Amino acid sequence: MHLPDGFLTPAVWVPLWAIAAGALALSTWRVNRRLEDRHVPLLGVLAAFVFAVQMLNVPVAGGTSGHVVGGVLISVFVGPLAAFLVMGSILAVQALFFQDGGITTLGANMVNMGLIGTFLGYWLYRLVSDALRGGRGRLAGAGVAGWVTIVLASVACSLELAASGTSPLGVALPAMVGYHMVIGVVEAVVTAAVIGFVSGARPDLLELPKL
């Protein structure tokens, strides 16, 4: 799902960069005011885990790639604002040092995998988990949010490619969404499995104040 340089026109990537920069500024301001010492090691562990799983890319038609994202997983532990900062950091490191995603398209990648995965993902997680309640509700919320956000991120990526004239919507959309409906199942299983394991071993980590 990482978009490389040259795949989006300035008319598409500039506004997305502006949205990502605004979200980063807001998240940084809010997190700096509310961050506690006990959040720091967890943020580091989550960043390392998500960075590793994101590096496992599968080529997808339309000129991009598919992989597990991890935005919902991070947001469940620390909240959407801190999760977006972690995702932004991961995507920036991947673009700068591993050529996984471009610099001009970094804003688009942050919107697709960061904003959708963390903010929308956390909202869906809370909606489902609060409705079902208990441990099963938490796992169901994590799974539903993981799957839905992966699919929606692939839709956003397809629309951006089509708006830039890189790939016709009729090619990019079914290819991206088709692959990511399957990848979304993996995302849902991984997210729910990690949260389920932590719920049994260290439930206190899920009770930290959300940022």
Which residue would you say has higher pLDDT here, 89 or 59?
Answer: 89
SS (H, E, C) 110-148: HHHHHHHHHHHHHHHHHHHHHHHCHHHHHHHHHHHHHHH
Would the pLDDT of 37 be above 80? no
Domains of the chain: 10-207 (1.10.1760.20)
Q: List the one residue out of 105, 90, 112 whose CA is nearest residue 176.
A: 112
Would the pLDDT of 14 be above 90? yes
pLDDT of residue 202: 83
Q: Note the pLDDT tens digit of each residue in 118-157.
A: 999 999 999 998 888 778 888 999 999 999 999 999 999 9
The answer to whether the Cα torsion of 155, 160, 165, 167 is positive or negative is negative
CA 174 to chain CA centroid, Å, is 20
- Output the furthest CA–CA distance in the chain (Å, rounded): 49
Q: How confident is the model at residue 25 (pLDDT cuts 50, 70, 90)?
A: very high
pLDDT of residue 205: 80
The most confident of the ranges 50-59, 101-110, 169-178, 184-193 is 101-110
Which residue would you say has higher pLDDT here, 134 or 26?
Answer: 26
User: What 3-state class would DSSP assign to 64?
Assistant: strand
pLDDT of residue 16: 96
pTM over 0.85: yes
Would the pLDDT of 107 be above 90? yes
Would the pLDDT of 19 be above 90? yes
Q: How confident is the model at residue 42 (pLDDT cuts 50, 70, 90)?
A: confident
54 contacts 66 by C-beta, under 8 angstroms: no
118 contacts 153 by C-beta, under 8 angstroms: no
Report which residue type is found at 37: D
Alpha-carbon gap, residue 75 to 122, rounded angstroms: 6
Alpha-carbon gap, residue 80 to 117, rounded angstroms: 9
